[in-house]
Amino acid sequence: MIRALRIALPLALLSTQALAAPGDGDLPRRAWLGASLEAVDGGIRVRDVFPRSSAEAGGLKRGDVLKARDGNPIGSLPQFIRSLKTARTGTKVAFEAEREGEKVQLAFPLVQWPREEETDAYKVEYGDVTSKAGRLRTITLVPKAIQGSRAPAVLIMQGLSAVTLDNMPPNLPIDQPVGMAVYRTIAAAMAEAGFVVTRVDKAGCGDSEGEATQLDFHGERDGYQNALKALRARSDVDPERIILFGHSMGGIMAPLVAQEDPVRGIAVYGISLKNWFEYLLENDRRQRQLAGVDLAVIDRGSRLLERFHHEFLVNKRIPTEITADRPELAAAVAEMGVNGDLVFGRHHTFFHQLADVNVAEAWSKVNAHVLALWGEAEIVTSRQDHEDLAAYIDARSPGKGRFQLVPESDHGFGRHKTGKEAIQAGNVPATFNPAIIGVLKDWSLKISH
């Protein structure tokens, strides 16, 4: 039942690593097939083809079933995606496909993933920063109104999912975001308000080097730390007016990043103030209650989860080893996405390290304005934690802690009236609720001037 710190995403918009393009320095730019796909018997069906993509230029059509690539039979969808991962822009691919019962042969070169485009309000700069995991792609929006002056800045720190933030998904109207595209929409709004805004892709995502499935908590934090340093070093940024916006897991990391590199303010949305062990049990109970599960059933499940998490987070064991030794716990963790070394799609060491973090202690070492935002339709975090955080900061630094309710907003900034409504919707993407933008922008402008 747990949906800890995840956002539902559309099916793969297939991308691969690519040669560097002008303006990228020497960090390679990935290529783009440009099709959403689904596995079917005997191959992989093309669900949709995106404009200006390799797939469109090469003649792929919706409903085509791919049977072979470069003369080799196509295996599973994950295998197919992995097979393209080392391709380069300009590399030719050849497919044998079935279209309305007929065999067709298609061959075409791969084009690069489309870049975000500048607007009348801001320029788009692609860069990179180094980290323990390798070089990471940065996308920075620079207001055109700066005109040589130093502007306030925002570093966006995303949630748990290891997915690119670079034009995701491409060609989607910026005012109709879904999934990870919400970060681009928020970044654009803040740039239009006069902030230099940076997003950074995690290791193994988009153009970034490294492997997302091997990235641990401290490695991810290191990427944000270096992105903040690079943002502060820009000649068009006022180093005394930098704000972190941390969503979900990014909001848990934000005070740790600010400890080493102080900032003017930190805004967080959908975070936990508790230790990770306690949070997981609380979240499971919350979501099961919202789903209408019988309280006695919830209690039995909670006891099993407690036993599993003690082995996993306290004794630092690998999940598959735990369930092998104690098969009665397997059902309790079935919805955590345990797959070998991975939990919720991340390496188990990520959570081993996170479990040792004293989140409240991290906040106690922060000297910044703090805005604790909580969506009215949240199912992943509690209102109490956000109110407690604001009060905790305000008690230590009067006037700097503030709680703000974001009406009709779920964990992924989708529009729902209540948590019950949000959980009933499942993974169906909700319409973006722009309320987050107004609240974040007004507070950021206030504390940065």
pLDDT digits (tens, 9 = 90+) for 368-417: 999 999 999 999 999 999 999 999 999 999 999 999 999 999 999 999 99
Query: Out of 75-89, 209-223, 307-321, 423-437, which region has the weakest mean confidence (pLDDT)?
Result: 75-89
Give the model's pLDDT for residue 389.
Answer: 98
Q: Is 21's pLDDT higher than 60? A: no
Going by C-beta distance under 8 Å and a sequence separation of 6 or more, which residues neighbour residue 151?
A: 143, 194, 195, 196, 236, 237, 238, 241
The span from the CA of 99 to the CA of 340, in Å, is 37
The residue count of the chain comes to 449
Q: What residues form DSSP beta bridges with 139?
A: 126, 199
pLDDT at 175: 73
The pLDDT value recorded for residue 6 is 33
User: Model confidence at 331, in pLDDT bands (50, 70, 90)?
Assistant: confident
Count how many Cα atoms sit within 13 Å of the Cα of residue 47 in the half-sphere of its side chain: 11
Whether residue 16 is predicted with pLDDT greater than 60 in this model: the reply is no
| pLDDT tens-digit readout, 261-304 | 999 999 999 999 999 999 999 999 999 999 999 999 999 999 99
Distances (CA, A) of 10 to 38, 185, 241, 371, 428: 11, 17, 36, 30, 9
Determine the pLDDT at residue 300. 92
Q: Please, what is the average pLDDT of the chain?
A: 90
Lowest mean pLDDT among 174-183, 189-198, 242-251, 314-323: 174-183
* 266 contact partners, CB below 8 Å, separation of at least 6: 243, 244, 245, 246, 254, 255, 258, 366, 368, 369, 370, 371
> What pLDDT is attached to residue 4?
41
Q: Report the predicted TM-score, pTM, of the whole model to 2 decimal places.
A: 0.89
Pairing of strands 122-129, 111-112: unpaired
Strands 43-49 and 72-73: unpaired
Quick one: pLDDT at residue 23?
Answer: 42
Paired tokens of 153: 């800045």
Phi, psi of 110 (to 5 degrees): -90, 135
What pLDDT, on the 0 to 100 scale, is given for residue 85? 66
Residue pair 202/211 in contact by the 8 Å Cβ criterion: no
